Chain A
Amino acid sequence: MKMIQCEQLAKNFGSHKALQNITCAIESEKIVGIIGRNGAGKSTLLHILAGYLQPTRGTCHVFGEKPFNNIQTAANTIMIDDRLSFSNYLTLEEILGMGADFYPNWQGELAFRLLDYARLAKKAKHEQLSKGQLATFNLIYGLASRCALTILDEPMNGMDEAIRNDFYRAILKEYIAFPRTILIASHHLQEMESILEEILLINEGVVIAHAPIDELKQQLISLTGPSHALAPILADSIIYTKKEIAGMTTVVVEASKLFIQEDVLQKKGITTAHLSTSDVCMYLTSSEGSDIDAVFD
């Protein structure tokens, strides 16, 4: 059975359609990147999965049950974001000390070692922490809880680069030690993509792609060549971007729609290049004809 199953899931906030149609299935024990532009609906989806929000339409099952107001979901899920709140009367040490009361797999010793490593003061209060320290503490809490479904919404926001790299590795090591489903929503795809297995790409409340990371990366390809040589090849292709400099054109198109061998292209003076995963995601989610230059024309 799938860990997460969403069918035509939609969520409206008044007249605003945050999620329009999300259909996806996520298997257990995978690290999945939830990627999308600002306002794509990532957080709304994660809030529904965590049982914080009720969908407007469609269905959502986590562990085979509807997550909203569900004690089983609550016991097996943790959602980490910058709105996570703890009592202001408690020190970090006290918060971590109580983790075992809520989460059966709680790793208290690991939590304190990570706290030390991140140079967070045990006696500090949660509300006194800086933005980056808060994110670090929340992430430590999320990892130590070892929940079967661990949801991290922008977990690295405000953290400096060194600590971000350390904690991507911490997520990976914890996952290897105790495999679980980890969903990470982030705008820093480039720095975290190596630890991901799959990407769920969302745009305007709709799933654009859900694929293993390497498959997604190879979905688009960049071609550069003389404009007259490119034109006949591209007749049937969707062109994601097009730049022309001195008679040479560079386009980004779907790799699967090109039925031409690389050496044939080469003879026509056309060179191919692969894109980074974050570029592929950017092109797949940018609206047609969107070009910042056009704003200034």
Chain B
Amino acid sequence: MRESTVHQTRLMFIWRLESRVTVMSACRALIHLSFLDANFQVFLRFHTMHSFFTRVNNVSALLSSCTMALLAAITIASLLQEAIYPPQIHGQISMKPVKVFNAKAPRQRRKQEMAFLNFNMTADLTPLFTWNTKQLFLSLEAEYENAQGVNNTVVLWDRIVRRPEDARVRVIGAKNKYAFKEIGGKGFSKGAATNASYALKYNLMPYVGVLRYGEAARISDVPFDVREEL
């Protein structure tokens, strides 16, 4: 009778080890095989009665499965929440005509045409903050096509929002943080790009789960105002 009980518990133990590995195997392939080694150690000496370490092993295996289940539940809940109640984000951008000067870009030897923005922007992003929101990455980007047939998207300004208190964005008279210049150093006048669209995009980063993207505001057809050299 004793033999059969022991045999049965051992089988259960193998089953548990395996189920734990399938749940976590992807992570595990990465996290080394040291855990498995440890399991195997206990596994080898497990042929009498349940000892302290067997129980530690069992509880930790069960806990890791439960944690994975909790993480998966949180991920799915966030996705469902967003699908059922899509966050309504409305923002506004206003902008003076974009000035283009011949100037020296940072870390460049030659002068080249660069564009300079002066923009106002308001948006309320508080609906994006839920229990699973770690931060928002906001970026203002320009979209334009030049005469060479290249579609360009360039991030000109960004901000990281980490608290819902900061999610009401109000930016007045701001300038671009990053240099805005044509690809290959050709210049906007030669590249024959006449105007561009600007959009405020957000990237929602969760504590756990899937990254989401969206657009909060957009302004179309802002002309480039090419000036003489300063």
User: Does B associate with A?
Assistant: no
Q: CB within 8 Å of B: which residues of A?
A: none
Q: CB within 8 Å of A: which residues of B?
A: none
